[in-house]
DNA sequence: TTGTAGGCGTTATCAT
DNA sequence: ATGATAACGCCTACAA
């Protein structure tokens, strides 16, 4: 087992000083060609690599970014993460990831765990519980300390920082219009509890479209489902109770499940009923019929978030940190598949 | 923006020495109760936290672990990662993740990016390309340097280190036996290119079962599909060509797609044909019929991998690092759903 | 051209 | 009970 080699080792071995070695390895003009070659050869031979930790301590920057997300076993977050990781690695940054598991406490703990010099900035999407309580002191603290923070998707208006969001309201509006243009009259909205800001925004778009098309809002057509452990009967009861000819769902699971129940009830898709879901995941692509979806372009969101964060981190280093906070809006698109007419 | 506070700040502010502050914050007996209280109060007020980077440099350990996996937008890896993250965080470790994207070069780059003091050890699953080339010098180098390494799932026999794998052969055997016990005679195997060690192992189990049940192996029943961009015609041609009454698939996507084609061809599931796939992901749970699967217990694998790694890291610190390498085998289980008879 | 010294923030050993 | 000093590995302004 060969130990990691340091400047000190090289210096001692070659009978020169540490700073000579340091300069030689940076190809400094100060050092004679001879010694440079000797030192560089030696360093290469022993595969010298500067110790990142020491460099971080010196530079007061780690080239690490911290990502705190509610869930990793979830297609959307996974794609966003992919975008973050891709961009960050390209810029020489590493990504430390923590999962809050939709828990406020874990979110706070995760942030504290990272906020001790381990990272140069945060990229986050709020946990369900955090959105519900709307307790954001942990975010405020980070911002107050001057640590760059980028929020994506599940954001809050109560904190001033960079943000990356989807045009949720507009795309929900468009999706609803699409259903209306198909001639649908009784469009249901399958959604989560209302404390998710994105669900709220999507509901707004849905309602706006209906209103514009002169259709009276009917709260009975709004089906609120729990995040997990969905019971088929609930959905079946819903279809039993309400005559529905289209469903807009804020995620793909709800859409798939509603579609499944509709099929069992003998409805033809998309002849009798249309479906559109948010999230272009595997479920939508491999369902039967394949689901028309709102693609959230998670990778783009992630890349953009990482770019905003790293830009700000590097700007701070250069001293001109007083750039105004921006909110970048990623444009969702509708991918038409078999669950809608066209 | 209040700057991060350090021992030095506190010392200066309170007119004591840095070492006094350090000791006081550790509740050392050496320090008088008075000064301790004063210092601790001050530290709490200004929310002092030791700088992790400095501590890492001093201790020569980072409490970070590096994870390099082929793909994050993939249910199995995602669940393993979840297990790693969960266990590691519980032990006060952070997780830095890099995605190799099934590319050998990226895998090497990722490892180099981390292997400069940023982490205490690696958890990895090999990229497709790495398995194909079987070039593992980058792993060997890490091991030679004495950096703990744990391989999971996509491992190689050519490197000596801790490993966590699934009992792929046995469970494939069991799954095949299950199909045989249903009375199936023409069982297809839907698999990937053979350089994946797991696919190989699964194929072995499949073949063993057939042999034991006195069924002659028929290579025409082995359907090799590309990892992505699967063409339905290929599958359809396969069904056209071969009379098949069951399919064992090494992943869930292949199973779902085969199932879909079979349905289109008018076959009844599971009356005419049964399906079993590996990976208990969303697709299997929400397919129609719901797919019987081999659950790989990714979270368990991840937890176990993290435990093995951290144990070894901490053992090394205590000096007794000469523990033999272990291979931990996680027992897969079959989850029976609607795509098989029971 | 090369080397010395100080510092990044923390900890541990050894004075006082 | 408190403080000075050195060290972790690296970098850099300044001396020689």
Interface check for B191 against chain A (CB to CB < 8 A): the answer is no
Residue of A nearest to B140 (CA): A1
User: Average pLDDT, stretch B189-200?
Assistant: 90
Helix, strand or coil for residue A218? coil
Say how far A2 CA is from C14 C1', in Å: 32
The integer distance in angstroms from the CA atom of A40 to the C1' atom of C8 is 26
- Give CA–CA dist A177/A175, Å, rounded: 5
Q: Is the CB of A19 under 7 A from strand C?
A: yes
Cis link prior to B251 (omega < 30° from 0)? no
Residue A295 phi, psi dihedral angles, 5° rounding: -85, 125
Tokens of A192: 């989560």
Angle between helix A33-45 and A7-14 (nearest 10): 120
| CB pairs A-B closer than 8 Å | 143
Q: Whole-number Å distance, CA B22 to C1' D1?
A: 14
Domains in chain B, CATH or no CATH each = 7-50 (no CATH), 63-165+298-330 (3.40.50.2300), 168-296 (3.40.50.2300)
Range 43-72, chain B: CB under 7 Å to any strand D atom: 54, 57-58, 60
**Cβ partners under 8 Å of residue B189, min gap 6:** B202, B203, B206, B221, B222, B223, B247, B248, B249, B250
**How does the average pLDDT of chain B come out, rounded?**
95
User: Quick check: A64 and B96 CB within 8 A?
Assistant: yes
For residue A1, the model assigns a pLDDT of: 60
pLDDT in tens, A152-170: 999 999 999 999 999 999 9
**CA–CA separation, A44 and A29 (whole Å):** 19
CA distance B12 to B264: 78
In this prediction, residues B212-233 reach a mean pLDDT of 90
- The CA-atom distances, in angstroms, between B268 and each of A236, A289, B236 are 25, 18, 16
Average of per-residue pLDDT across B67-90:
96
Cα torsion angle, A283, A286, A290, A292, sign: positive
User: What pLDDT is stored for residue A80 in this prediction?
Assistant: 98
User: Cβ neighbours of residue A262 under 8 Å, at least 6 residues apart?
Assistant: A239, A247, A269, A272, A273, A275
With contacts defined as CB-CB under 8 Å, which chain B residues touch A54? 57, 117
Residue B191's alpha-carbon distances to A54, B195, B222, in angstroms, are 47, 11, 7
For residues A204 and A171, the answer to whether their CB atoms sit within 8 Å is no
Residues of chain A numbered 234-273 and touching chain B (CB < 8 Å)? 253, 256-257, 260, 263
Confidence at A316, pLDDT banded by 50, 70, 90: confident
Mean pLDDT of chain A: 95
Q: What is the pLDDT of residue A45?
A: 95
* Angle of the A168-181 helix axis to the A197-212 helix axis, nearest 10: 40
Reply yes or no on whether the pLDDT at B228 is more than 80: no
Does pLDDT of B195 surpass 90?
A: no
Q: Do the chains contact at B286 and A257, CB–CB below 8 Å?
A: yes
- Indicate the length of chain B as a whole number: 342
Above 90 in pLDDT, residue B316? no
Instruction: Identify the burial level of A152 via C-beta atoms within 10 angstroms of its C-beta, where 0-12 means exposed, 13-18 middle and 19 or more buried.
Output: buried
Of A2, A52, A141, the CB nearest to B118: A52
Q: What is the distance in angstroms between the Cα of A208 and the nearest Cα belonging to chain B?
A: 32
**Taking a C-beta distance cutoff of 8 angstroms, is the pair B153, B198 a contact?**
yes
- Specify whether the CB–CB gap between A209 and A248 falls below 8 A: no
Better-predicted residue by pLDDT, B3 or B188 = B188
Average pLDDT value for residue range B303-324: 87
CA–CA separation, A208 and A240 (whole Å):
26
In 3D space, the residue among A42, A75, A4, A21 whose CA is nearest the CA of residue A256 turns out to be: A75
Q: How confident is the model at residue B16 (pLDDT cuts 50, 70, 90)?
A: very high
**Strand C at less than 7 A from CB of A16:** yes
DSSP string, B229-253: ---HHHHHHHHHHS--SEEEESSHH
Residue whose Cα is closest to the C1' of D3: B17
Which of B52, B143, B285 best probes binding to A when mutated, by most A CB atoms within 10 angstroms?
B52
* Residue of A4, A114, A234 lying closest to B115 (CA atoms): A4
Question: Which secondary structure element, helix H or strand E, spans residue A8, and what is its range?
Answer: helix A7-14
Instruction: State how far the Cα of B286 lies from the Cα of B311, in Å rounded to an integer.
Output: 38
The B 50-79 residues near strand C by Cβ under 7 Å are: 50-51, 54-55, 57-58
Q: Which residue of A48, A76, A118 is the best one to mutate when testing the B interface, meaning the one whose CB has the most B CBs within 10 A?
A: A118
Minimum distance, in Å, between the CA of residue A59 and any CA atom of chain B: 11
What average pLDDT does range B276-296 have in this prediction? 96
B5 CB closer than 7 A to any strand D atom: no
Asked if A45 has any chain B CB less than 8 Å from its own CB, the reply is: no
- Residue A158: the pLDDT is 96
* Pairing verdict, β A292-295 and A333-335: antiparallel
Q: 3-class DSSP state for residue A271? A: coil
B230 — pLDDT class (breaks 50, 70, 90):
confident
Q: What is the pLDDT at residue B1?
A: 59
Task: Check whether residue A57 has its CB closer than 7 Å to nucleic acid strand C.
Answer: yes
**Per-residue pLDDT tens digits for B21-48:** 999 999 999 999 999 999 999 999 999 9
Q: Report A:301-340 residues touching B (Cβ under 8 A).
A: none
* Residue B275: φ, ψ to 5°: -135, 135
Q: Model confidence over A226-270: pLDDT tens digits? A: 877 778 899 999 999 999 999 999 999 999 999 999 999 999 999
pLDDT, position B318: 73
Any residues with CB less than 8 A from the CB of B325 and at least 6 apart, and which? B160, B161, B162, B163
Report the side by side order of strands in the sheet with A246-249: A222-224, A187-191, A246-249, A274-278, A292-295, A333-335
pLDDT of A320 above 70 = no
């Amino acid at each position: 087992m060969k130990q990691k080699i340091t400047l000190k080792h090289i210096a001692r071995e070659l009978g020169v000083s540490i700073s000579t070695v340091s300069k030689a390895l940076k190809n400094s003009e100060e050092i004679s060609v001879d010694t440079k070659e000797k030192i560089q050869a030696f360093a290469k031979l022993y595969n010298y690599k500067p110790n990142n930790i020491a460099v971080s301590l010196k530079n007061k920057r780690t080239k690490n970014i911290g990502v705190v997300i509610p869930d990793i076993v979830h297609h959307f977050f996974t794609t966003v993460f992919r975008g973050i990781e891709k961009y960050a690695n390209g810029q020489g940054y590493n990504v430390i990831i923590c999962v809050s598991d939709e828990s406020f406490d874990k979110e706070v703990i995760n942030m504290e765990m990272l906020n001790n010099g381990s990272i140069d900035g945060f990229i986050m999407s709020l946990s369900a519980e955090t959105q519900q309580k709307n307790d954001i002191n942990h975010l405020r603290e980070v911002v107050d300390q001057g640590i760059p923070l980028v929020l994506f998707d599940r954001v809050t208006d109560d904190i001033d920082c960079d943000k990356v969001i989807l045009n949720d309201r507009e795309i929900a509006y468009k999706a609803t219009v699409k259903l209306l243009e198909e001639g649908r009259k009784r469009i249901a909205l399958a959604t989560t509890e209302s404390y998710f800001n994105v669900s709220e925004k999507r509901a707004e778009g849905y309602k706006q479209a209906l209103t514009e098309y002169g259709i009276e809002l009917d709260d009975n057509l709004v089906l609120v489902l729990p995040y997990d452990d969905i019971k088929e009967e609930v959905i079946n009861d819903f279809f039993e109770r309400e005559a529905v000819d289209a469903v807009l769902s804020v995620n793909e699971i709800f859409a798939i499940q509603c579609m499944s129940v509709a099929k069992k009830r003998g409805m033809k898709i998309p002849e009798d009923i249309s479906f559109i879901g948010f999230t272009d995941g595997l479920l939508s692509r491999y369902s039967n019929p394949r689901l028309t979806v709102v693609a959230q372009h998670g990778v783009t969101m992630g890349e953009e978030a990482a770019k905003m964060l790293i830009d700000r981190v590097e700007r701070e280093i250069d001293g001109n940190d007083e750039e105004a906070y921006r909110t970048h809006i990623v444009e969702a698109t509708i991918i038409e598949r078999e669950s809608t007419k066209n």
